[in-house]
Amino acid sequence: MGAYPKIIVSPPGPKARDLVKKDEQLISPSYVRYYPLVIESANDCIVKDVDGNEYIDLNSGIACMNVGHNHPRVVEAIKSQCDRFLHYSNTDFYYKEVINLAEKLAEIAPGDFEKKTYFGNSGTEAVEAAVKLAKWHTRKQLFIGFISAFHGRTIGALSFTASKPTQRRHFFPLMPGVAHVPYAYCYRCPFKLTYPECHYWCVDFIDEFVLQKYMPPENVAAILFEPIQGEGGYVVPPPEYFQRLKKLADKYDLLLIDDEVQSGIGRTGKWFAIEHWNVEPDIICSSKALASGLPIGATIAKTKIMDWTGGSHASTFGGNPLSCAAAAAVIETIKEEKLLDNATKQGTYALKRLAELKERCEMIGDVRGKGLMIGVELVEDKETKKPAAQKAAEVITRAWKRGVAIVTCGASTIRIVPPLTIQREMLDIALDIVEDTIDEVAKEAL
Ligand SMILES: Cc1ncc(COP(=O)(O)O)c(C=O)c1O
């Protein structure tokens, strides 16, 4: 792959159009596609479509390719595992690949205590396992979740997901016992308060109006949260938020379940985003970037909490040796290539650039993020803050046509999640295109 980006046929090209037509005939219509990008191959930060166009990838396959596409070390680990064995049900037998990975996860997950890991196959399964484990360990039935959260789509995980009505429509009844409370979305405070004068009312609210009114704390097992809401719009809570939430959890002896499916594995410049708040959760859910695109879910818990007994939870493919070998290589790559540092460095730079753009562009309401997990929230105008959903869709489609693969999250937030391997030169080229596109769409609206 040469100079980037490279658009040789206006996308979608003829091959992409043909495949999209076939996809419409054969594939479940429950997916939401942003635009007709049809992938042929990928390498590091570049994805190539079936018509030969090459794009800078600001998506990372939706926050999965933290070490870049097809990292040679990961590919080699998978190939070498392929030559040894592909599967042998860790539910019933033993092999070293899971043990090796669990050891690495225990080392990088926050908290200087012993940990055990349950392995599943997806982010949803990691959450599902965490919820079941919390029930098993505490023998309690109720949970606190957050409005605008995304935790997955099976009935258990979906009971916590609350970012779009379409995710839940027609699927009721869900798992009973989940109370959703407002998240610390300061740009659009659900209580119409302003940080820091609010004194974290959103935490006190949970105590005074939920636990003290209708969710008896002695029946509540856990609080499940994303440290940065992902699908909800890359929403970053203020500095002391999770410390306060932890204090509340300690007051009533509730477990803290930290869903790091999107924010983990170095994405924010730390192994897990919750480290930015210096809080050690009881259970952590990991997936997405962990095995660089291979299916995996990991539920990492304090050893004293992961006390369920044989038969209480398992999955045939959980801890698949290929995924585990890939994940071990991902962790080693992040360490060796100092990708946490690069995420911080490039992320700080991108945030600064985008904050400058916000100053001169009426269509940008908020710029936020940590490391290379960055959201640019588009609004109709800064006064009303009305989400500019259509304009956000227009921006990502035009940016894609110009060679940058980028998508949205929340109602109208442009989501910037490149591989953590991205370097300044390529980031600048991608941001030039994104910024030009935002400017262009904003000007047309005037
Ligand atoms: C925070 C979070 N939790 C859970 C999930 C569900 O993961 P999966 O799609 O792998 O089931 C996602 C997916 O985007 C996520 O972002």
Instruction: Show the tokens assigned to 416.
Output: 């910037």
Residue from 124, 164, 299 to probe ligand 1 pocket by mutation (most atoms less than 8 Å from CB): 124
Tell the residue nearest (CA) to atom 3 of ligand 1.
151
**Cβ atoms of 400 and 393 closer than 8 Å:** no
pLDDT at 3: 85
pLDDT at 446: 72
Q: From residue 12, give the alpha-carbon distance in Å to each of 33, 105, 188, 248, 333.
A: 13, 41, 36, 51, 34
Phi, psi of 444 (to 5 degrees): -60, -30
pLDDT at 291: 98
Determine the distance separating the centroid of ligand 1 and the alpha carbon of 254, expressed in angstroms. 23
pLDDT at 1: 46
DSSP string, 22-46: HHHHHS-TT---SS---EEEEEBTE
Q: What is residue 10's DSSP assignment?
A: P
Tell the residue nearest (CA) to atom 8 of ligand 1.
123
Determine the distance separating the centroid of ligand 1 and the alpha carbon of 2, expressed in angstroms. 33
Tens digit of each residue's pLDDT (9 = 90 or more) over 15-27: 999 999 999 999 9
Determine the distance separating the centroid of ligand 1 and the alpha carbon of 173, expressed in angstroms. 21
Of 299, 303, 304, the closest CA to residue 314 belongs to 299
Q: Which atom of ligand 1 is nearest to the CA of 229?
A: 1
Q: Which atom of ligand 1 is nearest to the CA of 125?
A: 11
Q: State how far the Cα of 184 lies from the Cα of 237, in Å rounded to an integer.
A: 5
Q: Other C-beta atoms within 10 Å of 380: how many?
A: 18
Quote the strand ranges of 239-324, DSSP E: 255-259, 283-286, 297-302
Determine the distance separating the centroid of ligand 1 and the alpha carbon of 226, expressed in angstroms. 10
Determine the distance separating the centroid of ligand 1 and the alpha carbon of 418, expressed in angstroms. 17
* Residues of the chain falling short of pLDDT 50: 1
**Site residues for ligand 1, CB cut-off 6 Å:** 122-124, 127, 150-152, 226, 230-231, 259, 261-262, 287
Q: State how far the Cα of 441 lies from the Cα of 76, in Å rounded to an integer.
A: 43
**Cβ atoms of 269 and 90 closer than 8 Å:** no
| Alpha helices (runs of H) in 372-415, residue ranges in sequence order | 389-401
